[in-house]
Chain A
């Protein structure tokens, strides 16, 4: 955040953390900028101009519905197919190609597998409870690995990674290779057209949240699923079904962990403690059932259990005792 010099209005406009401050979006950025502004009074006028430009005019966007877009696409698709000559012949060709490419890709996978077994070492990054790791892959992509997770890939093939646990991916925008980026979990694989998304296998499912760009999910059962920004989908191969498919309007809730904090927004203490359990590896014991339903809102750190406990105690008005590898929660 602080690397840059802010001399012209564009320096501010191009800065993400500045935008976050102007829109009052992110606590850390707000603190940073309040401090910065207090210490750079000579830049006040520029700051105000830039802030005005960021805020601008707020519109109530009246956007066509998803159903309408889907309908219009069907219409267009029909027209395109109509225009394509000899549709029947080409269809069977496509089918054949599909089968062929499936067979070919299996073959390729096998041969790649052999190839890599022989000549290519596997790299694995692992995190413990209460630990977050930033990894830069060879192709420039950034991965933030959440606690108690592991990410592996073959040395020569860092655009195909295996994940168990949770990670946030940002595929570097400077790389213009045609190769797609793949994330493979026990339930599905994510085929990446676009760039930033979160994948979690922490429960008996794989949950994917797409922040930006476009991605395709290939589920274990063979189905394809396209995602657009804001989509959150979870799928379990064992149950062979999609468990959740919704839109999340506040992406920070799903990705805040990578900045070292868990955000809760009107979440029951029970659910919140599940997250704590995932991050720190403590098992949770509730002494009374009433406490489970207390709603909490706020942020707790992901790498410091003591501060985390204190924050939850304060926010929920309960008492939490750490005993061996258990957190025992009781009324005050």
Chain B
């Protein structure tokens, strides 16, 4: 259902419609902000790059290709945009700029709900277990359950097919469950 909206907005944006662009900005800013903060761990950097990124999108709107769904485009391009800036800033201090060292999301205990009835994990150390997962699994978990994206959108962002997204998520959840049952065993 979102697709029609996205298509409309994107088309209007390409024609220079500022109203459409403001709708787009307001609907995606919060999620991109959280995403940028997770990657950069730096609020000022996140907000500056977001300003520059959106300005860049608007200025280059005529060259944008037609999109059915905007989220994957915005997440992917913003991620690339942010990484570029981070690499530039870190050039003097680091020698290894592989993406994996940069995009390694970390979760805090406060971020994770374990009290709710619907949650399958009631373990207090869930954030520690989450942080131990491979970075790809962490990113999939983040995009799915934090940003609330669809599997098809995540597949575009992470550059893997739909089934691999489902498998990656499933692997992550499964190993979390196993870790927790092991912890429980030792406590007994």
Contacts and interface: CB of A to CB of B under 8 A. Distances in A.
A binds B: yes
Interface of A: 9-10, 13, 22-24, 49, 52-53, 55-64, 69-70, 72-73, 75-77, 79-80, 83, 170-173, 175-176, 178, 193-196, 212-214, 216, 226, 228
Interface residues of B, number: 56
B1 interface: yes
Given A52-B177, A178-B11, A195-B1, A72 B50 contact: yes
A193 B110 contact: no
B8 A193 contact: yes
B2 A59 contact: no
**Pairs of residues from A and B, 3 with the lowest C-beta to C-beta distance, nearest first:** A194-B5, A58-B113, A213-B5
Nearest to A226: B23
B59 interface: yes
Given A72-B47, A73-B25, A193 B5 contact: yes
Given A64-B30, A214-B27, A75 B5 contact: no
A193 B112 CA distance: 34
Interface stretch (B73-81, B87-95, B96-104, B138-146): B138-146
Contact of A9 (B19, B146, B166): B166
B170 interface: yes
- Of the candidates A52, A59, A178, A212, the one having the most CB atoms from chain B within 10 angstroms of its own CB is A59
Contacts of B23: 193, 214, 226, 228
Contact of A52 (B33, B112, B117, B120): B120
Contacts of A79: 51, 55
Given A56-B169, A63-B34, A173 B3 contact: yes
Contacts of B157: none
Given A56-B144, A57-B141, A175-B4, A73 B26 contact: yes
Given A172-B4, A173-B4, A178-B11, 14 more contacts: A23-B118, A24-B117, A57-B176, A58-B113, A58-B116, A59-B145, A64-B29, A75-B51, A76-B55, A76-B58, A80-B55, A80-B58, A226-B19, A226-B22
